Chain A
Amino acid sequence: MRILYDLPIRIKFAVVLVPLIVIIICFDYLQIKHNYLDYSDSQRLNQTLQLGVEINHAVHELQKERSISIGFVSNDGYSFVEEMEHQRQVTDSTIRAFYKELESSDLDGVFSIHMDDIELLKSQFQSIKSIRNRVDQLALDPLQILEYYSDINDVALNTVDMLINETRDKDIAQQVHALIYFLKSKERASIERAIGTQAFSHEVIDDELYSSFAALVAEQDAYLDAFLVIADQESFNVYSRLMSGHDVGEVERLREVVHDRNEMGEVDPAYWYDMTTSKINLLKQVEDHISDRLLSHTEYLYVTAFRKFWTFIVLDIIIGVIAVWLMSIIVTNLLANVKILENFTLRISKGDLSKKVNIPTKDEIGQYAKTFNVMVDEIVKSHNILRKERDKAKFLYNNIYRVSLVVFQNIHQGIFLLDRNFKMSKLYSKSMEKIFGEQKIAGENFANFMRPLIIPRDLEALEMFMRHLFNEDMDEDVVNQLNPIEQVKIYSENDGVVTTKYIRVNFTRIWRRDRITNIMVTVSDETESVLLQKHLEEAEKKKKQETEQVLSILKIDPSLIRGFLYNAKRTLRSISEKYESSKDGDLRGLLDFTFETIHNLKGNAVVIGLDIMSQKFHEVEDAIEELKTKEITGKDFLTILYEIDDADKIIDEMSSMLRKVADIYRKYPSGGHVVSNIMLIDTLERSVKVIGEKMDKQVDFFFKNEGNLVLPNEHIDVFRDVMIQLIRNSIKHGIEPKDQRVAAGKLARGGITIELDQPAEGQLRVIYKDDGRGLDIEKIKDRAIMNNLLTEYDAENLTDEDAVGLIYEKGFSTSQEVDEIAGRGQGMNLVKNLIESIKGTFKTEFESGKYFRLIIELPVSGNIQDQEETNEVANS
């Protein structure tokens, strides 16, 4: 059943119509066939009847010929000669009529069925000739004649019977049967006439003949009964009307005569013959009447059937054509409309709403089409509305939602919403994960979320705070003043590492009408800024300390600082000048020069305890050091120049500061050199302390000046630089670490002694001594070889004194470390250069494991005795 439902409409039509058409055609065919059979049947019946009638005529004449022939023989050829001749001609003419009828072309149908019967009849008719011959020769007795002729008639009547028996029309069949019974009866009547004629001629009837006669009459009556029983009313009436009168009564009377068998001689055979012949002629009239009626009836039937057949066919074709035409029009129209609808709906389903469907019929499909158009209009309307909505939504999406998402993805703040149950929203900015780690965020209760991150007191406050946030009666600003996690330190675990963060959490109410639906929470990671702030605070503190340090140094020797700053400023300027004058020149040499100069400045800064400057110069040194390792371009010097400029600025700042300090000093003037000397010694003592601390060695500083000698101002700078360099070397290389000293039986604390004396007028001797490990000649030699100052061979032949001299060579220092204390392999070479720059001489003494001593002699002019000591004391 499903299959039927799913068929396309055209197939459905076919399923309904095709069987109908087939059935109609079948019925039509049957009806036409029936009509045709009726038609052909009636036609054949009519022809057969005509043939039968011809046969009947022949039979009738044969009957007469039979009677006459018998009469002829019975009278030994003396009577009936002319009658017989005449009768034979009549008989032959009827037989010829039969043959003629047979030859008519439209009897093929009859022949095909009854060929044998007709052939038999023909042969019978042909036998007549021989019978006649024998009659003429009187070779046959009457009974034989009777028998021969009767046989022919029997065959003829049987043939008629056969021919006519064919019809399917029961009525006609019955009347035909009636006719045949009548003919059989008539045949018997004819034989009766013959036998009667013979009997009356002999005037006696023997038993055999009587018996035949009786049987004939009985059969005649029987067939007549049968005829009367089945004949229709009209035949009956015709029979009743014709078969009466004198002659018929006479035949009855003469039969009784025969029955009595006594008065046979009293009846003339010719009278019997006439009477019976008269009766037979009447019978013949009845027969003809019935035959004519049958013929006209079958003719009528034939014409009717013919007309019916053709009428039916014509009507059938007309109606059929009209029906098919109507059907095809309707079905085609229906299918076409359905097709239009189908295409239309297909187009709609593909989204093409631009066209309308046009079906002009006023049937349901036409109505559907109208409804469809209305629907399409509605769809188009809705579609437009939807499109507008969609565009709007798209716009919103593009301009708001997407922007929000992008913002949520990229913003550095954590953003999410809280609902009234303090649950965190599903949507939150990506930074939430960055700030809080890979925790579950969506849908969590915010208090629970924060529980492991903050202290319980803050958590309690947070819960209370959120409750007030959602309280519409409470002012938002008032509540926000009490945000307990406005800035809070959290401990979050990320990849198993616990980190501390400082976060700022802000809350903003989101209103819908008069209700707070959500709180927008923003979280910023302020760890960096908090740490920076802390760092700045520390830096500030340090700066303060440094300033104090600087001030403390200044307090001791402003003239030293001033000198240093003046010197440094000048030196730096000289560097810049050198750069400008030797552009594209010997960059490497320029770099070396810069390095040396800066190094000197650094050393000085260290000596006078100007950490800011020493650090700055150290940075410059670092920058230069970096350049030393690679190819230098002019551009690279910019870095150094920048650093130098920076150092210059610091110098300026300090100069201005110093001027302020100088103002203070101006208020308390003191005796130039002496003050300078005191400051110098103080500086050296502090240098020992500072350097010692840095090297983690405890060193005491001793200054001996028995003669109250005073260094001239012009020598103070060089003297200080030399001493500081020596102190550096002693603490770094000479004085052993504490445990080594103790093991060597020395005092745990090392000692550096500087002693001034005046061996002669105009001469100042400075004796520098430390109680360290002294010098190791072999090591010095090794270093000298390593630094390519001499060959191994030379080293073998070198005296100890000459070997000691190696340490003053440029490039001897083996120290790979670069630091502000030991210098950069410049150490003793610098000392030598400085001493020689003020025309001094020096002598190195040492004892391995005990001490190192350097004796410097300087030429001095004028009085170096402190003569103002008393003044100073008096002043203080």
Chain B
Amino acid sequence: MRLLIVDDSSIMRRIIEKNLKDYDIQIIGMAPDGQTALQLVKEHMPDVITLDITMPGMDGLACLDEIMAVHPKAKVMIITALSDKLTGLRALDKGARGFLYKPVNAVDLAKAFDRLLKRNENKQGRV
């Protein structure tokens, strides 16, 4: 499982990194803005990407568009402080598969990743 973390806040990036330490996840890179993120996506084609919405320069939704254009199979989890639901729903429209509000804690993050990855193996777990 290869992960790219995209967030303009270095603290946030570090929190995510720290909280995923115990999981079988290889962090292949961290990007502070959209451009960098796109570069890294093209280079590494990560399996999972955590993406902030509010970033300087290219915003998260635009970045998501670009990512999906070059790597449609990427599983993108939006991690944002923005409480606006409409933006979140737009992100889902554009292909995001997970969603998490900031501030994040270890438990929420773990659950969110579980869901994101389980969805891959077993499309639906209910009858």
Judge A-B direct contact (beta carbons within 8 Å).
yes
A513 contacts partner chain B, Cβ-Cβ < 8 Å: yes
Interface string of A503-534 (1 = CB under 8 A from B): 00000010101100000000000000000000
Whether B115 contacts A482 by the Cβ 8 Å rule is: no
Are A464's CB and B99's CB within 8 A? no
Instruction: Indicate if the CB atoms of A482 and B89 lie closer than 8 Å.
Output: yes
Tell me if B18 is interfacial: C-beta within 8 Å of chain A.
no
Cβ 8 A contact of A457, one of B86, B98, B112, B123: B86
Query: Does B89 lie within 8 Å of A468, measured CB to CB?
Result: yes
Q: A476 CB to closest chain B CB, in angstroms?
A: 8
Enumerate B39-91 residues with CB–CB distance to A below 8 Å: 85-86, 88-90
Q: Does B38 contact A (CB under 8 A)?
A: no
Instruction: Give a binary string over B86-102; 1 marks a CB under 8 Å from any A CB, 0 the rest.
Output: 10111011000111110
Q: Are B92 and A472 in contact (CB under 8 A)?
A: no
Interface check B2, CB cutoff 8 A = no
Give the residue name and chain of the B residue nearest to A483 (CB): B85
Complex Cα gap A869–B88 (Å): 71
- CB-CB under 8 A from A474, the residues of chain B are 92, 97
Q: A473-B123, A511-B127, A514-B124 are in contact. Are A478 and B85 (CB under 8 A)?
A: no
Tell me which residues from 458 to 480 in chain A have a Cβ below 8 Å from any Cβ of chain B. 458, 460-461, 464-465, 468, 472-475, 477-479
- CB of A482 within 8 A of CB of B85, answer yes
B98 engages A478 (CB within 8 Å)? yes
| B123, A472: Cβ atoms closer than 8 Å | yes
Residues of chain A within 8 A (CB-CB) of B116 are 475
Question: Residues of B contacting A457 with CB < 8 Å?
Answer: 86
CB distance from B4 to the nearest CB of A (A): 19
Per the 8 Å Cβ criterion, residues 99-124 of B in contact with A are 99-101, 112, 115-116, 119, 123-124
Given contacts A464-B93, A468-B89, A477-B115, contact A482 B99 (CB under 8 A): yes
Question: Which residue among B97, B116, B124, B126 has the maximum number of chain A CB atoms within 10 Å of its CB?
Answer: B124
Return the chain B residue nearest A476 by Cβ. Answer: B126
Query: What interface size band does chain B fall in?
Result: 20 to 34
Interface centre among A457, A474, A513 (most CB of B within 10 A): A474
A464 and B86 in contact, given A478-B97, A481-B99, A481-B101 (Cβ under 8 angstroms): yes
Contact yes or no, A472 B89, CB < 8 A: no
Complex-state Cα separation, A473 to B123, whole angstroms: 7
Q: Nearest Cβ distance between residue B117 and chain A, in whole angstroms?
A: 11
Q: B97–A475 contact, CB under 8 A?
A: yes
Contact A514 to B123, CB < 8 A, known contacts A464-B86, A474-B92, A478-B115: yes
List residues of chain A with CB within 8 A of the CB of B90.
Answer: 464
Contact B124 A468 (CB under 8 A): no
Across the two chains, which residue of chain A brings its CB closest to B101? A481
B86 touches A461 (CB 8 A): yes
Once bound together, how far apart are the Cα atoms of A514 and B125, in whole Å? 9
Q: How far is the CB of A446 from chain B (nearest CB, A)?
A: 16
Shortest Cβ gap from A422 to chain B (Å)? 15
CB distance from A477 to the nearest CB of B (A): 6
Would you give the shortest CB distance from A474 to chain B, in whole angstroms? 7
Complex interface: chain B residues within 8 A of A468 (CB)? 89, 92-93
| CB-nearest residue of chain B to A461 | B86
A558 within 8 A of B: no
Contact A475 B119 (CB under 8 A): yes
B92, A479: Cβ atoms closer than 8 Å:
yes
A811 contacts chain B at the CB level, 8 A cutoff: no
Known A-B contacts A461-B85, A484-B89; the reply to A478 vs B123 at CB < 8 A is: no
Contacts of B127 in A (CB 8 A): 511, 513
Contact assessment for A482 and B119 in the assembled complex, using a CB-CB cutoff below 8 Å: no
Return the chain B residue nearest A459 by Cβ. B86
Give Cα A481 to B85, complex, Å. 8
Q: Which of A479, A482, A484, A513 has the most CB of B within 10 A?
A: A482
Nearest chain A residue, comparing its CB with the CB of B116: A475
Residues of A within 8 A of B124 (CB): 472, 511, 514
**A20 → chain B closest CB, angstroms:** 76
Do B92 and A475 touch (CB < 8 A)?
no
Complex: chain B residue closest to A475, CB-CB: B115
Cα distance A474–B101 in the bound complex, in angstroms: 17
A465 in contact with B99 given A472-B123, A473-B123 (CB within 8 Å) = no
Q: How far is the CB of A483 from chain B (nearest CB, A)?
A: 7
- B-side contacts of A473, CB under 8 Å: 119, 123
Of chain A, the residue at the smallest CB distance from B111 is: A477
Q: Is the CB of B92 within 8 A of A484?
A: no
Closest to B119 in A: A475
Chain A proximity of B37: nearest CB distance (Å): 21
Report Cα–Cα, A251/B86, bound state, in Å. Answer: 162
C-alpha spacing A473/B97, complex, angstroms: 9
The answer for the CA separation of A511 and B123 in the assembled complex, in Å, is: 13
Contacts of B100 in A (CB 8 A): 481
| Neighbouring A residues of B112 by C-beta, 8 Å | 478
Name the A residues within 8 Å of B93 (CB-CB). 464, 468
Asked whether A460 lies within 8 Å of B98 as measured between CB atoms, the reply is: no
How far is A65 from B86 in the complex, measured between Cα atoms in Å?
Answer: 162
Hey, which chain B residues are within 8 Å of A479, CB to CB? 92
B85 touches A484 (CB 8 A): yes
Residue from B89, B97, B123 in contact with A465 in the complex, judged by beta carbons closer than 8 Å: B89
Task: Determine the distance from Cα of A479 to Cα of B127 in the docked complex, in whole angstroms.
Answer: 19
Q: How far is the CA of A461 from the CA of B85 in the complex (A)?
A: 7
Hey, which chain A residues are within 8 Å of B126, CB to CB? 509, 511
Contact with B along A428-439 (1 / 0, CB 8 A): 000000000000
Q: How far is the CA of A483 from the CA of B98 in the complex (A)?
A: 14
Which residues of A approach B to under 8 Å, CB–CB?
457-458, 460-461, 464-465, 468, 472-475, 477-479, 481-484, 509, 511, 513-514
In the complex, given contacts A457-B86, A475-B97, A482-B92, what are 5 additional A-B residue pairs having Cβ atoms less than 8 angstroms apart?
A464-B89, A464-B90, A474-B92, A478-B98, A478-B112
The 4 closest A-B pairs by CB, nearest first: A484-B85, A461-B86, A464-B89, A482-B88
Report B's interface with A, CB cutoff 8 A.
85-86, 88-90, 92-93, 97-101, 112, 115-116, 119, 123-124, 126-127
What are 14 residue pairs bridging A and B, where the CB atoms are less than 8 Å apart in the complex?
A: A461-B86, A464-B90, A464-B93, A472-B123, A472-B124, A473-B119, A474-B97, A475-B119, A479-B92, A482-B85, A484-B85, A484-B89, A511-B124, A511-B127
